[in-house]
Every structure is written in structure tokens, then in C-alpha cells.
């Protein structure tokens, strides 16, 4: 039953816009930030050349605009260790775990409990679908696939940044930050599916999980307990491989995997105890 469920989830994921949408989202974000910062540099250079050709008072105004752009770029460069390649790479990977997660969670609403409201669970239930056959394939397919795609997205961002800025990033930095993003996304998708499957309301689940991913790290940091948890991976991915706290990374990774398994078990337990009422098109307790 579980093997058949995995095949079904892969089939549903690959059909339509879901898988393609996830890939487009991750690749789009991966390419956007390195290209954005490189285009800003090129734009500043073109504006400076244009100002020299214009001359007079207009040249002073153009020079001021160029200085403003260069000042912003210099501040970003200093913030990320003096490398524009790191600026494009780190912001790109970070956006995969924030904006990317939001878009992906919206794309997966139908599979994260949405079918319970659309009465599409009624036929498998009549055919003997068990809670384990319904829940486990989702936790096997989606967190793992999204995690792998997020890792590849980070690699793409790093490679594009290196191509644009003459290999300023080391392979260790690219691999480390990409791995942090992948593990974080795996955990967040598992958490999202726990809430979505348990409530049958994926739209509300998106708000809860995305809002929580913004608020919880701030609360943990204010309480000085922002280590050894999955949310610290978002901070670690901004660090270089040589400067990162490896004990924090290893323990946070272990905790993320353990919590992901717990999410799966909790969802299975809740789905075993609840009753999906297909007669009215809503998921009821």
C-alpha cells in the first residue's frame, strides 16, 4: 500500500504544474539574485559613462546617483565578507528558504490536506486506503524532493555567482550553505504537511507555518536559545564554511530530521483518530 502510495504521489506531483512550478520557483530565485546584483554593477558603470558624456550640472546629479548605488553595493559587499559573489549567493539561497518556501507551500496546497475538502479521498477509502498508506507516502515524497531541489538550487546560485565574479566562492561554502537550505526546507515541508493533513485546511497552514518561521527565530534569539534547532540553519547558511559553528550545524541537522519524523508520526496518529467526512466536502474531527 505504501509503495503504491509513493507511486501515486510521484505521479500527482509530476503531473500538472506542481513539480514544474517548484522547479521554476527554485531555479528562478537561484538565478535572480546573482543576475540582479551584477546588473546593478553594470548599470552603475553605464550611468557613470553617460554622466561624463553629458557634463555640466546633470553630470553632478548622475555622479550622485552612481555614488549612491556604489555605496549600497559596498555596504552589501562588506556585510558578506568583501565578496559580491557571496552577496548574490547568500541572498539567493536565503530567498529559497523564505520566498521559495512560501511559493512552494502554495503550490502544494492540494496535496497537503486540500484533497480532504475536495472529497477526493473517498474512492481510495472505499478501496481500503489506510492512514499509513495516505500519510507516509506524502512525507516520503515531498520533503525529500523539495530538499533535493533546494540543494540543487543552492548549487546553481553558487555556480552562477562564481561565473559572474571570477570564482570568488569556494566549493565548501557553496556546498555548506546549499546543504543548510536543503535540510531547512525538508523540515519546513514536513511541518507544513503535519498541520495541513491534520486540519484539512492547507491555506490556514501556509499562514501558520510561514508566520511561525518568521516569528519563532526572533523569539528564540531574544531568549538566547537560538542554537541546536532547525531554524538556526537559516542563520548558518549565511556563514562561510570555515567560520560556521559545526557543532551547531550537526546538532541542528539531527534535530531537524528527528522533528521531521515526529511530524510524520503525529500526522499518522491524528489521521488514524480522525474521521474524514466526505459527504459534505469538509474534513471533520
Comparing 140 with 10, which gets the higher pLDDT? 140
pLDDT of residue 121: 53
Asked which of 70-84, 96-110, 271-285 is least confident by mean pLDDT, the reply is 271-285
Asked which of 39-53, 95-109, 219-233 is least confident by mean pLDDT, the reply is 39-53
Q: What is the pLDDT of residues 178-223, one digit of tens each?
A: 999 999 999 999 999 999 888 878 888 889 988 888 888 888 888 8
Q: What is the pLDDT of residues 130-178, one digit of tens each?
A: 777 888 888 998 999 999 999 999 999 988 888 887 767 888 888 999 9
pLDDT of residue 123: 43
> Is the pLDDT assigned to residue 64 strictly greater than 60?
yes
What is the distance between the alpha carbons of residues 93 and 91, in angstroms, rounded to a whole number? 6
> Is the pLDDT assigned to residue 47 strictly greater than 60?
yes
C-alpha cell at 78: 562588506
Comparing 118 with 197, which gets the higher pLDDT? 197
Q: What average pLDDT is seen over the chain?
A: 80
DSSP per residue over the chain, as a string? -HHHHHHHHHHHHHSTTHHHHHHHHHHHHHHHHHHHHHHHHHHHHHHHHHHHHH-HHHHHHHHHHHHHHHHHHHHHHHHTTS-HHHHHHHHHHHHIIIIIHHHHHHHTTIIIIIHHHTTTTHHHHHTT--HHHHHHHHHHHHHHHHHHHHHHHHHHHHHHHHHHTTS-S-HHHHHHHHHHHHHHHHHHHHHHHHHHHHHS-HHHHHHHHHHHHHHHHHHHHHTT--SSSGGGHHHHTTS-TTTS-HHHHHHHHHHHHHHHHHHHHHHHHHHHHSB--TTTTS-B-
pLDDT of residue 282: 47
| Most confident range, picked from 10-14, 243-247, 281-285 | 243-247
> pLDDT exceeding 70 applies to what percent of the chain?
76
- Is residue 114 very low, low, confident or very high in pLDDT (cuts 50, 70, 90)? confident
Sequence-separated (6 or more) residues with CB below 8 Å from residue 65? 47
Whether the CB-CB separation of 154 and 96 falls below 8 Å is answered with: yes
Amino acid at each position: 500500500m505504501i509503495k503504491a502510495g509513493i507511486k501515486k504521489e510521484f505521479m500527482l506531483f509530476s503531473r500538472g504544474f506542481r513539480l514544474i512550478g517548484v522547479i521554476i520557483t527554485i531555479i528562478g530565485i537561484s538565478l535572480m539574485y546573482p543576475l540582479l546584483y551584477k546588473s546593478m554593477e553594470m548599470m552603475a558603470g553605464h550611468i557613470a559613462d553617460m554622466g561624463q558624456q553629458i557634463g555640466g550640472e546633470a553630470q553632478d546629479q548622475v555622479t550622485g546617483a552612481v555614488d549612491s548605488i556604489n555605496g549600497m553595493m559596498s555596504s552589501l559587499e562588506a556585510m558578506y565578507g568583501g565578496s559580491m559573489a557571496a552577496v548574490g549567493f547568500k541572498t539567493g539561497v536565503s530567498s529559497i528558504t523564505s520566498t521559495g518556501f512560501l511559493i512552494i507551500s502554495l503550490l502544494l496546497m492540494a496535496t497537503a490536506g486540500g484533497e480532504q475538502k475536495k472529497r477526493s479521498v473517498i474512492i481510495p477509502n472505499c478501496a481500503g486506503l489506510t492512514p499509513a498508506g495516505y500519510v507516509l507516502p506524502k512525507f516520503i515524497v515531498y520533503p525529500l524532493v523539495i530538499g533535493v531541489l533546494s540543494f540543487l538550487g543552492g548549487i546553481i546560485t553558487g555556480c552562477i555567482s562564481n561565473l559572474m565574479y571570477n570564482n570568488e566562492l569556494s566549493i565548501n561554502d557553496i556546498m555548506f550553505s546549499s546543504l543548510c537550505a536543503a535540510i531547512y526546507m525538508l523540515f519546513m515541508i514536513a511541518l507544513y504537511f503535519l498541520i495541513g493533513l491534520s486540519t484539512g485546511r492547507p491555506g490556514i497552514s501556509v499562514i501558520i507555518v510561514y508566520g511561525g518561521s518568521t516569528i519563532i527565530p526572533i523569539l528564540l534569539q531574544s531568549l538566547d536559545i537560538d542554537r541546536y534547532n532547525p531554524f538556526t540553519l537559516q542563520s548558518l547558511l549565511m556563514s562561510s564554511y570555515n567560520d560556521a559553528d559545526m557543532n551547531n550545524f550537526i546538532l541542528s541537522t539531527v534535530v531537524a530530521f528527528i522533528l521531521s519524523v515526529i511530524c510524520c508520526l503525529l500526522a499518522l496518529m491524528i489521521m488514524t483518530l480522525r474521521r474524514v467526512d466526505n459527504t459534505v466536502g469538509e474534513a471533520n474531527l
